[in-house]
A and B are shown apart, each in its own frame.
Chain A
């Protein structure tokens, strides 16, 4: 079910009531587990079986890895876990993509092959929970942690509803121990959790859906070349839409978990204030970037095997990171661009010695603007339906397209640019601080006023619940 739906409001109220009822801790954990399965089944009940398979296989694989006496057996059990998770992911998410490319490759070789129709529905959030459970087996294999002692706690780790379908991708050591002890939020945690839920819903329903989506949809939905203002507005609006959509989801997830007494990690830290791309990836989808760092980039050698190998590792990580988002070559190019940016930045750092003016305010502003500009180029590939559409959009942005048309009205342009300007300014202001610090220094009346305005804006902007963009990944 969607966080921005009345169904979730009713569901969460029941979950909270049960969680604060005078039941033993073990029963409360069962309640949370059942609630999490119901949360997932509300989309499509049969796909709960996938959660059970992941839970069953990884629970046993980790136990066997831990008990195994030989390295070969440890490796075999790890392969079992990885093959199960990647197999599920591959079948449901990449099957059609692989088949299409296979057919195209045969066609290029002059062999006519008609692939069977691939009518497989993508289970919501599959990329998130498979990565989360793989982290568990990998941690045990890499001896970073021991397997969980409780199947109930482990099942809850795989399924915990606030972050089940779109993250943050939580590490076993961050979450499983939390289930071991009685968790109940203090009243202040409960209120702050509700405050975070409000902020997340405001980001999603008001900023992403009401103010930014119309411009992004109109620009990317337009067939043919656009005038530069229209193209830039569309791309900038999408940069805001994707941020508020995804950050909104993560903030609601963190708030919902906190209301229950659990702590989830931050997934975003004002990414459009990033100075450079390594900084950007410390601020954008943090739980994925660190997952890729810890379970892919470092295991394949990281920066320990010479310069060339470091760049190769960087590119491989980012290309696969791109593919994680979707089974399409446009996502691979998106990842490849980020890999190239990271590699370029690393190269420049190696070539140009640190200068004192690097620390000057205006240099930082210029670098942040350059970073944001280059990130917007990558969003074109992320959002476009095809390379043709992406090329048209890029040409339109730089006034190189033939026969450009105006497609956006001021009704789309004005709100989108206003929100994007506010977003970038806010990110810059918040670059070195946190929401918590700012709120701790804000008078209560101002907090209450802002909270009321957000609740009001959410309620009047409600509509037919639109799904979060990252659900498709």
Chain B
């Protein structure tokens, strides 16, 4: 039997007007009727109404701390920037501190070089350094931001981005480029505006025995090349700033309480073993990059409040940062050593206020440059 595509229109006259298709599957025939409705008029009304709704949605979000030109912090955007990290590029890796605290515009003004920002929040720099070390085309400068709790535990919230960049499909690359256009034009494209996120963070009554969710909210705004700073809401909305601190405090106070208990020798031994392995891995990767003519340096961005209380106790400088620097034979800059890098405003203990990030960058870049020159001179001698 020849196949027919009966896409014919069937009159829709209410009950019984359109014969229900109850033959569930005819292997030789496909019936695809179109309900007889004034489709042109319907489509026009639908598009018009949807446009009005979207315009209202966009306007309402622009009044609620969302901005056009704030780009989504996706693995696709990271992959886009990763492709720039080639040759003698200057690359920043690490976690949110170096991600938020280095202003790429200021850095470029001072050094004439725009770094590639490859840091990720909640992520140890380890997978990113391994990726750069494995890339024979890269022989530039890597500035590794060291956040003790992440660097020395190896926790990498966004570590999968490395694999994503390697396997990113053409479809994802095109889709990302198209999203960039929408992110430039509209405020309501951010994840924070999605119903899924709104429902997730909504204040529903708590079920008995369950604790309030204390997960980080949106803390940053980002340019098209991942130049990132603390979001205006963190600076201007006091309740939101307090919430950000409360969220950090929730996790930090648990860790502090655990530290005050009698330490489990087995757990301590495992932590030390893990740290030894991580430092050895950093050494190996740094040596690989240096062998090609590149350089790897370590930097510690400012922190205070409960972070200082926890990190300084859990990762004493001489056993953590200084050891990492010594064993990798690296140049380093830590805010602890430079009064001019201290006393800046950290609204939620961990990230610099945008204006202070500019000041910090303007002071940090020349210090690092001088340290590198110093190191070169020593090596030349």
Contacts and interface: CB of A to CB of B under 8 A. Distances in A.
Interface of A: 1-2, 5-10, 41-45, 171, 173-178, 183, 185-189, 191-192, 194-195, 206, 209-211, 214, 254, 258, 261-266, 269, 282-283, 286-287, 290, 294, 406, 409-411, 414-415, 432-434, 436-437, 439-442, 444-445, 447-449, 451-453, 455-457, 459-465
Interface string B209-227: 1100100000000000000
Interface centre among A44, A264, A464 (most CB of B within 10 A): A464
Interface in B25-44: 25-43
15 contacts: A1-B171, A42-B174, A174-B30, A188-B34, A188-B36, A258-B32, A263-B7, A409-B207, A411-B201, A414-B204, A440-B13, A441-B14, A447-B42, A452-B53, A464-B74
Contacts of B169: 1, 42-44
A269 B24 contact: yes
A171 B178 contact: no
Contacts of A287: 25
Given A6-B178, A171-B28, A439-B37, A411 B204 contact: yes
A433 B20 CA distance: 6
B195 A448 contact: no
Contacts of A42: 169-171, 174
Interface stretch (B113-121, B186-194, B309-317, B353-361): B186-194
A286 to B, nearest CB: 5
A174 B40 contact: no
Interface string B347-378: 00000000000000000000000000000000
A275 to B, nearest CB: 14
A205 to B, nearest CB: 10
A406 B210 CA distance: 7
Contact of B196 (A44, A214, A449): A214
Contact of A448 (B1, B49, B76, B194): B49
A456 B12 contact: no
Contacts of A449: 45-46, 49
A451 to B, nearest CB: 4
B214 to A, nearest CB: 12
A146 B123 CA distance: 60
B63 interface: no
Across the A-B interface, the 6 shortest Cβ-Cβ residue pairs: A440-B12, A452-B49, A191-B39, A42-B171, A448-B45, A451-B46
Contacts of A444: 37-38, 41-42, 45
A254 B175 contact: no
Contact of B170 (A41, A283, A290, A410): A41
B174 A7 contact: yes
B9 interface: yes
A437 B26 CA distance: 19
Contacts of B76: 464
Given A6-B178, A461-B195, A183 B5 contact: yes
Nearest to B1: A173
Contact of B207 (A187, A189, A406): A406
A436 B18 CA distance: 8
Contacts of A434: 18, 20-21
A30 B377 CA distance: 66
Please indicate which of the listed interface residues A7, A171, A206, A287 has the most CB atoms of chain B within 10 Å of its own CB. Answer: A7
Contacts of A461: 194-196
B54 interface: yes
B328 to A, nearest CB: 32
Given A447-B42, A455-B46, 13 more contacts: A6-B182, A41-B170, A42-B171, A173-B3, A266-B24, A266-B25, A290-B25, A406-B210, A409-B207, A436-B10, A436-B33, A441-B15, A444-B38
Nearest to B213: A409
A174 B170 contact: no
B50 A188 contact: no
B112 interface: no
Nearest to A170: B30
Contacts of B188: 460
Contacts of B75: 464
A456 to B, nearest CB: 4
Given A173-B27, A191-B40, A262 B5 contact: yes
B196 to A, nearest CB: 4
A178 B40 contact: no
Contacts of B32: 254, 258, 263-264
A177 B194 contact: no
Contacts of A44: 169
Contact of A263 (B11, B30, B175, B213): B30
A20 B24 CA distance: 32
A452 B50 contact: yes
A456 B56 CA distance: 11
B65 interface: no
A470 to B, nearest CB: 17
Contact of A410 (B7, B48, B204, B209): B204
Contact of B18 (A211, A409, A437, A452): A437
Contacts of B53: 452-453, 456
A411 B207 CA distance: 10
Nearest to A432: B20
Given A10-B178, A41-B170, A445 B45 contact: yes
Nearest to A410: B204
Point out which of A1, A188, A415, A465 has the most chain B C-beta atoms below 10 A from its C-beta. Answer: A188
B243 to A, nearest CB: 17
B44 to A, nearest CB: 8
B272 interface: no
B269 interface: no
